Structure 1
């Protein structure tokens, strides 16, 4: 019955959304959100900023895969900071 339940969408296990605490950098909020892929983690996340009362979001996904979630988060933060410093609000255009 378990197989049929999963096949037809009756799976009672629901993934809870992961809450990520943002890191602030020069008025931007960086949300590291590595993506698990085949035992490794893809560098990914979001960069957000409120501009004129509207929250603007830039999704940040790289092709790099790392062996640990912590390494992927750290690398994402470093790359996001560099991206913010180089592009500023232009990233939202």
Structure 2
């Protein structure tokens, strides 16, 4: 069962994915960045949620990178840097399908 949980993620009774745990958040250029480092094999994978209110609706983009870090703090710091880079390069286009 543990292998399947890692492969497909943990889910609630209704089958929805568990909410990522937010380590820290900050505002940047009108966006909110929530660092959500993912524990993996004794390390932490770089992940974040980028959000912005657009036309009265909160838009959200989940960013998961291949980068692994030895500490949660390092993964959090680099998540902010990478999310800021994505915002600078793409702006609101990150919310387009």
Task: Name the TM tier (shorter chain).
Answer: 0.7 to 0.9
In 1, are the aligned partners of 2:48 and 2:62 still within 8 Å (CA)? yes
Q: Please identify runs of 4+ aligned residues in structure 1 that moved more than 3 A.
A: 17-21
Q: Distance in 1 between matches of 2:81 and 2:68?
A: 15
Q: Distance in 2 between matches of 1:22 and 1:34?
A: 12
TM-score (ref. length: structure 1): 0.78
- Distance of 2:86 and 2:80 partners within structure 1: 10
Q: TM-score, normalised to structure 2's length?
A: 0.75
Say yes or no: does 1:51 pair with 2:88.
no
1:37 to 40, 64, 78: 40
Q: Which runs of 5+ in 2 are unaligned?
A: 1-19
Deviation at 1:45, TM superposition (A): 1.1
Partner of 1:27: 30
Rg larger for: 1
The answer to whether the aligner puts 1:63 opposite 2:66 as a matched pair is yes
Supply the distance in 1 between the matched residues of 2:22 and 2:65 (Cα, whole angstroms): 21
